[in-house]
Amino acid sequence: MSLKKGLLSERRKKMKKLRVGTRGSKLATTQTKQTLAVFQEHFPEVEVELVKIKTKGDHLATHNLQAIGGQGCFVRELEYQLREGEIDFAIHSLKDIPTTIHEELALACIMKRHSPTDALIIREAGKTLETLPKNAVVGTSSLRRKAHLLHVRPDFDIQPIRGNIDTRIRKMNEGQYDAIVLALAGLERLGLDQTVYHQELSPEIMLPAIGQGAIALECRKDNTEILQMLKKMEHLETAIAVTAERAFLNSMDGSCTFPVGAYCRQKNGSYELTGMIGSENGKIILKETLQGDDPVILGRAVAANLIKQGAITLIEECKNDQKETFIH
């Protein structure tokens, strides 16, 4: 063992217990424990303490996400605790993290991605997206999912739904919805993909949310020791792919307050990124696919091509519709 590695190992032995922040939901706690199991494989000598933090999105579980701040409402409280030094690092679903984060913080590690796709959970087993009855009631509060669904099934009655996965499935089974849409990765992490009847919606049918299926570990920039430790767990292919997706979103607007999706994957030794912008009613879906090696350049290029197709007009129309909805 080199002197440098020996000193680093010695410091870790003396390191205080690390406090790890997470949301308190069943899914967040489960994926945090799964992530910490990987962390302990890398650093068995480091003790960790799980700190559950309730976010604005958790407190206002029945409110419209766009009305309470959109994407960042599930991470702000954790980031505040990071900046205050109350926790050493936080574990998030990457799709919940805005493309611009606080200057004192860093995304230290992106874990290997689980399934990036969405799943249509259907109350009547055997039915599919294509065979659900006319005017079926489908639950989702995601503008992206709503636009995709109405694009292929304009007859659907899309109704908002909030709450944890168990709550949403219960509401569907009680007859409030004929189907609901959830991230397939969430079902997999909870083991529900084997027990709940569902149809996986391919990216060709429904492009995922930016970063969907990936877990991100966030810490303070000035905590170089934690940064170095977490970076050892990073999955490079996933990190490059989601960097392209986040660069795309950042070039469009930086938020998820309009129907937007993207999916990047490795293909033929390079990376292929598909991005979409749509109208909330699903009548217009703009898509662009490009390949490249630099994820930031790739994300910006896809965004630029969609802007040429009229994406900014769609974004502004969607935001204006939301303002009118909140006023009334």
Task: Give 125-157 as a DSSP string.
Answer: TT--TTTSPTT-EEE---HHHHHHHHHH-TT-E
pLDDT digits (tens, 9 = 90+) for 90-107: 999 999 999 999 999 999
Q: Residue 263: which residues within 8 A CB-CB, separation 6 or more?
A: 116, 203, 207, 208, 245, 273, 274
pLDDT digits (tens, 9 = 90+) for 18-40: 999 998 889 999 999 999 999 99
**Pairing of the two strands 18-22 and 215-220:** unpaired
Please state whether the predicted TM-score (pTM) of the whole model is above 0.85: yes
The CA distance from 141 to 238, in Å, is: 27
Looking at residue 256, its pLDDT comes to 72
The CA distance from 254 to 242, in Å, is: 14
For the chain, which ranges sit under pLDDT 70? 1-15, 55-74, 254, 322-328
Q: Please identify which of the residues 58, 88, 96, 293 carries the catalytic annotation.
A: 96
Q: Is 96 a catalytic residue?
A: yes
Looking at residue 268, its pLDDT comes to 92
Looking at residue 321, its pLDDT comes to 72
Q: What is the largest CA-CA distance in the chain?
A: 70
Answer left, alpha or beta for residue 211, where phi above 0 means left and psi between -120 and 50 means alpha: left
Side-by-side strand order, sheet with 118-122:
157-159, 137-139, 179-183, 118-122, 198-201
Q: Which domains does the chain have, with CATH numbers?
A: 3-111+214-234 (3.40.190.10), 118-201 (3.40.190.10), 245-327 (3.30.160.40)
* Cα within 13 Å of Cα(132), Cβ side: 24
The CA distance from 94 to 71, in Å, is: 10
- Tokens 């290997």, residue located: 112
> In terms of C-beta density within 10 A (0-12 exposed, 13-18 middle, 19 or more buried), how is residue 218 classed?
buried
Task: Give 26-41 as a DSSP string.
Answer: HHHHHHHHHHHHHHHH
DSSP label at 111?
Answer: P
Looking at residue 1, its pLDDT comes to 45
The CA distance from 318 to 160, in Å, is: 17
Looking at residue 41, its pLDDT comes to 95
